């Protein structure tokens, strides 16, 4: 009796598990393409807002590869290249600021070939709502203050928040977050200046990701 | 005329008397965490309501085939499956909102209000009533979320419906209402402690209203009794 009951219950459970998995699988199949499309669209939108689409004529999401360098933070990072008729225009590089107020801040930094910043966006962060989260474009336009800035020379003291004697404002009540972002952008631009020749000859390896 | 009364009672239970947010105090984690804006609250509320209706209907439909020893794992399976589906659908169709709800979307699985309703009501009642119960309980939860979201958004940012386009599409961008101009955001209202405080005031308000109602009802009964006495004496 006992054994029968266990067998029956086990079969029922298995049946339900299969049915539920089937439903989830079906929904996954139906939405899969659209989710990829949405993520792709989001990426293209972000890239286009950083590097104006009229300045380059390649598909940036297709000319992408992975790199890793301690200047960009831990783990591997992505580079998206923008070229106009095969001539280098700019590159968008993901970077990690490890010293945010509340963990890592993930950035996408676009640098023009001449070394000036084309644009910066915060991709992911857990900074304090209302204080540190002003680095998001939809909360505050502070992040736009990077556009057009260049690093001059080895020791450019202007690349710091105003409190440290630099040219970037901090927020009232939040200095750590903007400081982390400014430093990460500075390191990324430095990396680009050091390696830009290699970057634009690198083969694309992460198509459409 | 029996059926409408039954549904009326279900609606009254879900929306007011036994409201999952205000009375049962279930699902507090999402309730407090995502209600920093009306739109977030609405998004999570709708997702929860959808899961609640589907899980109640399914649990009620299969009640005769499920032995009571294994009912809990099966309920959990069903709820998890629906939540995953909702998550995939939101990822596909409301990408911005999916991003802003983050971890709280999959965490609907752990909302005890859902398994609570499956166990306490849906597993013992017919599909129609169970679905309706899911709708009303979900609506009650949604209303609390939205009210809390509205209070916190007005106090914290001075706006209402900020970011409505994430949920409803681009046309909704101009739904945004600037209620008052704040130079600095009122941080307490945005952070979780503000949610606890606002929640406390909401529960207090509900209790106050209940007290008022309770005060009115005994008076009517007393007057009836008096009349009876008068009749008796005379």
User: Where does residue A115 fall: left (phi above 0), alpha (psi -120 to 50 degrees), or beta otherwise?
Assistant: left
Element containing residue B177 per DSSP (H, E): strand B177-178
Q: What is the pLDDT of residue B230?
A: 46
Q: What is the pLDDT of residue B229?
A: 47
CA distance A20 to chain B (A): 6
> Among A16-25, A89-98, B12-21, B96-105, which is the least confidently predicted range?
B96-105
Contact between B165 and B99 under an 8 Å Cβ cutoff? The reply is no
Measured between CB atoms, which of B69, B77, B190 is closest to A16? B77
CB-CB neighbors (< 8 A) of A31 in chain B? 88-89, 91-92
Residue B189: how many CA atoms within 13 Å on its side-chain side?
18
Q: What is the pLDDT of residue A208?
A: 53
Backbone angles phi, psi at B79, to 5 degrees: -65, -45
CB-CB neighbors (< 8 A) of B95 in chain A? 38-39, 41-42
pLDDT higher at B230 or A104: A104
pLDDT higher at B102 or A181: A181
Per-residue pLDDT tens, chain A, 209 aa: give them: 788 888 989 999 999 999 999 999 999 999 989 988 888 888 888 888 888 888 888 888 888 888 888 888 888 888 888 988 888 899 999 999 999 998 899 999 999 999 899 999 998 888 877 778 888 887 788 999 999 888 887 778 888 888 888 889 888 778 899 999 999 999 999 999 988 888 888 888 875 55
Q: Do residue A34 and residue B92 have CB atoms under 8 angstroms apart?
A: yes
User: Where does residue A191 fall: left (phi above 0), alpha (psi -120 to 50 degrees), or beta otherwise?
Assistant: alpha
CA distance B26 to chain A (A): 25
CA separation for the pair A149, A147 (Å, rounded): 6
Q: At A27, is the secondary structure helix, strand, or coil?
A: helix
Q: What is the pLDDT of residue A171?
A: 85
Q: Which residue has the tokens 């209302």?
A: A130
CA distance B119 to chain A (A): 17
Q: What is the DSSP letter of B184?
A: S
Measured between CB atoms, which of A24, A31, A172 is closest to B81? A24
Element containing residue B160 per DSSP (H, E): strand B159-160
User: Where does residue A75 fall: left (phi above 0), alpha (psi -120 to 50 degrees), or beta otherwise?
Assistant: left
In tens, the pLDDT along B60-86 reads 999 888 888 888 899 999 999 999 999
Binding-site residues on chain B for chain A (CB distance < 8 A): 36, 65-67, 69-70, 73-74, 77-78, 80-81, 84-85, 88-89, 91-93, 95, 156, 163, 184-185, 187, 190-191
Tokens of residue A139, six digits: 């909360």
Element containing residue B159 per DSSP (H, E): strand B159-160
Q: What is the pLDDT of residue A178?
A: 93
In tens, the pLDDT along B164-217 reads 776 776 677 777 777 777 666 677 777 888 888 988 999 999 999 989 988 887
Q: What is the pLDDT of residue A67?
A: 87
In tens, the pLDDT along B107-153 reads 888 888 888 888 888 888 899 999 999 999 999 999 999 999 898 88
Residue B195: how many CA atoms within 13 Å on its side-chain side?
20
Measured between CB atoms, which of A9, A12, A35 is closest to B91? A35
Q: What is the pLDDT of residue B130?
A: 92
Q: Do residue B92 and residue A12 have CB atoms under 8 angstroms apart?
A: no
Beta strands in chain A (DSSP E): 64-67, 77-84, 87-100, 103-112, 117-124
Q: Which residue has the tokens 């910043």?
A: A117
Contact between B161 and B175 under an 8 Å Cβ cutoff? The reply is yes
Q: Do residue A12 and residue B67 have CB atoms under 8 angstroms apart?
A: yes
């Amino acid at each position: 009796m006992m054994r029968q009951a266990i067998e029956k219950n086990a079969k029922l459970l298995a049946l339900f598990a299969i049915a539920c998995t089937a439903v989830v699988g079906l929904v996954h199949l139906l939405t899969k393409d659209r989710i990829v499309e949405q993520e792709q669209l989001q990426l293209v939108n972000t890239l286009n807002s950083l590097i104006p689409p009229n300045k380059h004529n390649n598909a940036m999401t297709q000319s992408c590869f992975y790199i890793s360098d301690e200047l960009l933070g831990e783990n591997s990072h992505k580079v998206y290249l923008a070229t106009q008729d095969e001539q280098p225009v700019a590159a968008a590089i993901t970077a990690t600021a490890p010293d945010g107020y509340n963990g890592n801040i993930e950035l996408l930094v676009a640098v023009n070939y001449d070394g000036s910043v084309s644009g910066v966006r915060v991709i992911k962060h857990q900074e304090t709502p209302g204080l540190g989260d002003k680095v998001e474009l939809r909360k505050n336009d502070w992040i736009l203050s990077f556009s057009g800035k260049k690093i001059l020379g080895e020791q450019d003291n202007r690349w710091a928040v105003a409190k440290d004697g630099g040219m970037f404002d901090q927020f009232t009540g939040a200095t750590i977050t903007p400081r982390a972002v400014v430093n990460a952008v500075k390191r990324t631009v430095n990396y680009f200046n050091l390696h830009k020749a290699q970057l634009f000859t690198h083969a694309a390896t992460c198509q459409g990701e | 005329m029996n059926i409408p009364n039954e549904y009326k009672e279900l609606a009254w239970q879900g929306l007011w008397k036994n409201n999952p947010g205000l009375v049962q105090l279930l699902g507090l984690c999402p309730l407090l965490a995502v209600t920093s804006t009306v739109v977030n609250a609405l998004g999570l509320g709708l997702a929860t309501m959808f899961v609640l209706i589907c899980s109640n209907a399914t649990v009620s439909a299969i009640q005769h085939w499920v032995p009571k020893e294994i009912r809990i794992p099966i309920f959990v399976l069903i709820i998890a499956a629906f939540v995953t589906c909702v998550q995939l659908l939101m990822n596909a169709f409301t990408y911005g909102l999916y991003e802003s709800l983050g971890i709280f979307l999959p965490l609907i699985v752990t909302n005890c209000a859902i398994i609570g309703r499956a166990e306490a009501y849906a597993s013992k009642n017919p599909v129609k009533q169970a679905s309706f119960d899911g709708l009303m309980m979900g609506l009650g939860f949604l209303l609390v979320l939205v009210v809390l979201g509205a209070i916190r958004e007005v106090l914290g940012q001075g706006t209402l419906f900020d970011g409505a386009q994430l949920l409803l599409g681009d046309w909704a961008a101009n739904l945004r209402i600037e209620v008052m101009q704040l130079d600095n955001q009122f941080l307490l209202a945005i952070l979780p402690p503000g949610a606890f405080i606002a929640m406390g005031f909401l529960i207090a308000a509900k209790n106050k209203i209940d007290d008022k109602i309770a005060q009115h009802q005994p008076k009517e009964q007393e007057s009836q009794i008096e009349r009876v006495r008068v009749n008796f004496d005379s």
